[in-house]
Amino acid sequence: MSTEQNKTIARHHYQNTSNLAAAFELIAPNVVFHFPGMPPTYEGWKQAHVMFLAAFPDQHLTIEDEIAEGNTVVTRWTFRGTHQGALMGIPPTGKEVAFKGISIDRIAGGKVVEHWNNFDQLGMMQQLGVIPAPGQAA
């Protein structure tokens, strides 16, 4: 597949974050998912996705940059949403968050077969008020 086709495949997940079925259409059942604290499987990725969708039902992800070489696509994105459901034991705060992240997807056979995800978890927790921001009292 061309790098443009691979970018389209990777982009499909990010453009459908609010629709679980659509978000996972182009994810291979044997995908290797790299995300701290979650099983490295299709079900682990789906579990993480469901958790964030329940916590931020109005979530919106904006793709800022995409870079592709061979079968690898790197996507830099911004996530926005309102904390309306429990997230990792944190009750809903009603606070709006915006944080950035970078994901790397490896594509084979027209599907994502490996996915790395890294985002500003500290910034998200500070925006939710769970961790004080620098200069704030605990």
Q: How far apart are alpha carbons 86 and 99 in whole angstroms?
A: 18
Q: How far apart are alpha carbons 114 and 29 in whole angstroms?
A: 10
Question: In terms of pLDDT, which residue wins out, 102 or 19?
Answer: 102
pLDDT at 17 over 90: no
For residue 14, being part of any structural domain is answered with yes
Average pLDDT (24-28) is 95
For residue 120, being part of any structural domain is answered with yes
| CATH number of residue 23's parent domain | 3.10.450.50
Average pLDDT (70-99) is 97
Taking only the tens place, the pLDDT of each residue in 93-129 is 999 999 999 999 999 999 999 999 999 999 999 999 9
For residue 67, being part of any structural domain is answered with yes
For residue 93, being part of any structural domain is answered with yes
Number of domains comprising the chain: 1
Average pLDDT, the chain: 95
Strands in 27-34's sheet, in edge-to-edge order, are 27-34, 111-119, 96-108, 72-82, 60-69
Q: Which of 24, 13, 31 is nearest to 108 (CA)?
A: 31
For residue 132, being part of any structural domain is answered with no
Taking only the tens place, the pLDDT of each residue in 63-73 is 999 999 999 99
For residue 123, being part of any structural domain is answered with yes
What is the per-residue pLDDT for 138? 58
For residue 136, being part of any structural domain is answered with no
Q: How far apart are alpha carbons 4 and 53 in whole angstroms?
A: 28
Q: How far apart are alpha carbons 61 and 14 in whole angstroms?
A: 7
